[in-house]
C-alpha cells in the first residue's frame, strides 16, 4: 500500500512539474539588467571600479568616478569632488589632474572607473 501511495505522489509531482511552463521559471531575458547579453551586463564586464587613496600633489590620469563639478578659484579652473580639489594640467600632450588641496575631513579613499 505504501508503495502505491509513493508512486501516486511521484506521478502527481511529475504532472505538476510538466504543467508549469518553463518560460515562467526562467527570468533571464535579453534587455534586462541582470542578463549577460544586456547592455548593462556588457558594461559590467568591460568596466570596473577601483578605489585608491589620493594625497596632495598626486598626479592622476583620470578624475574620480562621477566627478564633473568645475569651480574657478583665483582665475584657475579646478574640479571639486568631495572636499578634494583637482587642477587640470598638461603633461606633454596629455591632460592630467593634480591633487592641489584636500580639505580637512575629506575622504581620500576615492573610487575611479577604468577600462579593462
Do 54 and 99 form a contact (C-beta atoms < 8 A)? yes
Q: What is the mean pLDDT of the chain?
A: 76
Do 55 and 47 form a contact (C-beta atoms < 8 A)? no
Percent pLDDT > 70 in the chain is: 57
Do 12 and 4 form a contact (C-beta atoms < 8 A)? no
Task: Give yes or no for residue 80 having a pLDDT over 70.
Answer: yes
Tally of domains within the chain: 1
Residue found by looking up cell 574657478 in the block: 72
Q: How many CB atoms lie within 10 A of CB 54?
A: 18
* Highest mean pLDDT pick, 31-45, 59-73, 82-96: 82-96
- What is the domain extent for residue 96? 2-115
Amino acid at each position: 500500500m505504501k508503495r502505491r501511495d509513493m508512486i501516486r505522489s511521484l506521478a502527481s509531482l511529475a504532472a505538476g512539474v510538466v504543467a508549469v511552463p518553463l518560460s515562467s521559471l526562467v527570468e533571464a531575458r535579453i534587455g534586462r539588467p541582470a542578463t549577460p547579453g544586456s547592455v548593462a551586463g556588457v558594461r559590467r564586464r568591460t568596466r570596473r571600479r577601483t578605489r585608491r587613496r589620493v594625497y596632495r600633489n598626486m598626479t592622476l590620469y583620470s578624475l574620480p568616478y562621477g566627478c564633473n563639478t568645475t569651480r574657478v578659484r583665483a582665475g584657475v579652473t579646478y574640479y571639486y569632488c568631495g572636499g578634494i580639489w583637482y587642477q587640470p594640467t598638461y603633461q606633454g600632450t596629455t591632460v592630467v589632474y593634480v591633487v592641489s588641496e584636500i580639505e580637512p575631513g575629506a575622504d581620500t579613499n576615492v573610487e575611479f572607473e577604468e577600462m579593462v
